[in-house]
């Protein structure tokens, strides 16, 4: 199957699960070179999502993402912010007040407003990044007065599960948080995007309210972790 055929098949599955709701398809393109990413863009994905800053910078320079918005979806480090602000249309993985402050500063310097999602560690896993669920509201409140960063929603990666159904309670908890925060109408915050669901579980995520899914292997095929560039 070609990348275009895979994108079409994923789209069909999304449409069935979404039952009329609009769901954005983000191609999680880690470890796929610029030409493969361009194929996905040509096939009409709504955005590309990249995990590693260096890979994003290199592939961006090679024109991989031309024609599609670019999201950063990987673990965010302070010292990499300068490569992302004003470059990524959406930084999906912000999980601290400190990162918000640094993004706001950098965006102010560039004269732009940076859209971000707050990443939530919805499974409360020790080794995972993301805000603790009970800290999300106070982080939204922290972001509200910042002039150059705008919170557009939430992102989560639930614990690895044997079956997508096992992830549904986590997806449902995210939806509740998303709705609660949206109802509070904070300044500078619009709960537009609930980003959850990957190749193995995007239909379950959509059924629980996701309107943005990040799909890698179902579009590009299995990643080859034996490749030297791979990680
Ligand atoms: C790789 C990745 C995905 C996509 O994973 P697949 O299982 O290949 O669909 C989604 N989100 C993030 C943050 C990722 O790193």
CATH number for the domain spanning 94: value is: 3.20.20.10
230 found inside a domain:
no
227 found inside a domain:
no
Q: What is the DSSP letter of 79?
A: G
Cα 198 to ligand 1 centroid, rounded to whole Å = 6
231 found inside a domain:
no
For a mutational test of ligand 1's pocket, the pick from 88, 194, 198, i.e. the residue with the most ligand atoms closer than 8 A to its C-beta, is 198
Q: What percent of the chain lies above the pLDDT cut of 90?
A: 94
- Report if pTM > 0.75: yes
Per residue in 186-223, pLDDT tens? 988 999 999 999 999 999 999 999 999 999 999 999 88
Asked whether residue 230 carries a pLDDT value surpassing 50, the answer given is no
**What is the number of the ligand 1 atom nearest to the C-alpha of 199?**
9
Number of domains in the chain: 1
Q: What is the DSSP letter of 223?
A: -
> Rounded to an integer, what distance in angstroms lies between the CA atom of residue 47 and that of residue 152?
15
206 found inside a domain:
yes
Per residue in 129-169, pLDDT tens? 999 999 999 999 999 999 999 999 999 999 999 999 999 99
Range of the domain at 174: 3-222
Ligand 1-lining residues (CB < 6 angstroms): 28, 30, 51, 73, 157, 198-200, 214-218
Cα 134 to ligand 1 centroid, rounded to whole Å = 25
202 found inside a domain:
yes
Non-local CB neighbours of 200 within 8 Å, separated by 6+ positions: 164
């Amino acid at each position: 199957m070609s990348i275009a055929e895979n994108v079409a098949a994923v789209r069909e599955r999304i449409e069935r699960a979404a039952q009329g709701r609009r769901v954005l398809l983000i191609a999680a393109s880690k470890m796929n070179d610029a030409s493969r990413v361009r194929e996905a863009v040509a096939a009409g994905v709504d955005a590309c999502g990249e995990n590693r800053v260096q890979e994003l910078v290199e592939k961006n320079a090679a024109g991989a993402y031309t024609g599609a918005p670019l999201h950063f979806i990987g673990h965010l480090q302070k010292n990499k912010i300068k490569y992302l602000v004003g470059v990524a249309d959406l930084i999906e993985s912000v999980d601290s007040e400190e990162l918000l402050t640094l993004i706001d500063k950098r965006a102010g310097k560039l004269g732009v407003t940076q859209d971000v999602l707050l990443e939530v560690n919805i499974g409360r896993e020790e080794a995972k990044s993301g805000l603790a669920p009970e800290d999300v509201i106070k982080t939204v409140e922290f972001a509200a007065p910042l002039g150059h960063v705008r919170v557009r929603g939430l992102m989560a990666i639930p614990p690895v599960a044997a079956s997508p159904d096992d992830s549904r309670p986590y997806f449902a908890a995210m939806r509740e948080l998303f709705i609660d925060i949206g109802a509070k109408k904070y300044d500078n915050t619009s709960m537009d995007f609930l980003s959850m669901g990957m190749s193995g579980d995007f239909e379950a995520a959509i059924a629980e309210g996701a309107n943005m899914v990040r799909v890698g292997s179902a579009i590009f095929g299995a990643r080859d972790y034996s490749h030297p560039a791979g990680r």
